[in-house]
Amino acid sequence: MARRKFKNIKNVRALVSKTPIAACLSLLMLSGCQSTTSSNEVITPAWITQTPSAPNVVYGVGQAQNYGNLQQAKNTAQESARIALAKQLNVVIAADTSIIQQAKNGISKFKLNEIIRSQVPDIKLQGLQITEEYQQGNTLYALAQFNKSNAIMQTELEIAGLDNQIGALNLNLPSKSQRLKSALQVKKLLAERNKKNDFLLMLQSQSVLLSEPVFNKAKQAEEVIADLSFNLEMASDKESNLRDHLAKALTDQGLKISTFRPDFTIKIRTDWQNINQDNTHFSHAQTFVSILENGEEKAHFNSKVKAASSYQSMAKNKAMDKIADQLAGQIAEFITTSYL
């Protein structure tokens, strides 16, 4: 009897001792489950509602809706972020993240400068990165980052490289055509340099001034181009008035018109048609232009213009102004195509 009682007491003690262990295990399992659940929770990043800010760093946040094509939505969100960033730099950004410079220099006096500027490639936002992405339901977010300090340093180095290239060009070559080719290369490098300086200003940094050697080389290039001379030959003696009009207009645009040993001869034939309708005079002209060098035709252009006025003479003068403007562009196109 005593033995059975003692055995029961041992069983009770064993049961009591196991109960806290089981309870502890249950608590550990429960806490383990809770910690796993909390660690899997995704924290919504603050940048999707508040654009970050940091010294010398520009951020842009973009978003897009996913309508079934996840990759397209990601690309759209990234491009939206780039555009948002570019707006803070006061630039327009294309799909390949290149900068489209805002025209602010007005109309060039000589269309050669205008054509050369158009041939200079757009500056790219080097260093622009998509650093983070986040998806919330069907909305995708992207964070773009651009380090201004790095971009400024890189641009200044590139300008220094352009100055070295300009300094290496020889504008004292024996033939005029060789000097012209070097002068055009100088002007193109200067146009690229100007774009990079504009970029520095967009980044709120100081532009890099021309050193004295580069300034002198730029001045010499302008002198080489300004020394080019053109002779105007009209197909008919009746067009002497048109020749004088064109000569004055082209001279005003910086071109030298001369009959004495010109570098280029420009032959012009113009067919006129004057129409009077409801007391308004319309002057239509079709112009055929040939540019010759040493007697050999190098380029040929055809163009049409029209002008209107209450007076016939005024309508024709307006048409001649348009012919002169087109001719300046054709000459500039010929020079850059042939020598640049």
Each residue's pLDDT, cut to its tens digit, for the chain (340 residues) gives: 545 544 454 554 444 455 555 554 454 454 444 444 455 667 899 999 999 989 889 999 999 999 989 999 999 999 999 988 888 776 545 444 444 333 333 333 457 887 888 888 777 777 889 999 999 999 999 999 999 999 999 999 999 999 999 999 999 999 888 999 999 999 999 999 999 998 898 888 999 999 999 999 999 999 999 899 999 999 988 888 889 888 888 888 778 999 999 999 999 999 999 999 988 999 999 999 999 998 899 999 999 999 999 999 999 999 998 998 888 888 888 888 888 8
Query: Which pLDDT belongs to residue 40?
Result: 61
Query: Which pLDDT belongs to residue 48?
Result: 92
- In whole angstroms, what is the distance from residue 160 CA to residue 149 CA? 17
- Enter the pTM of the model: 0.71
Taking Cα atoms as reference points, which of 146, 156, 100 lies closest to residue 126? 146
- Cα–Cα distances in angstroms (integers) from residue 181 to residues 36, 253, 327, in the given order: 72, 21, 21
Spatial contact of 183 and 225, defined as CB atoms under 8 Å apart? yes
Q: Count other C-beta atoms under 10 Å from residue 105's C-beta.
A: 11
Spell out the domain ranges in the chain: 48-149, 150-226, 229-339
Taking Cα atoms as reference points, which of 52, 67, 70, 71 lies closest to residue 132? 52
Question: Domain spanning 229-339: which CATH class is it, in words?
Answer: alpha beta
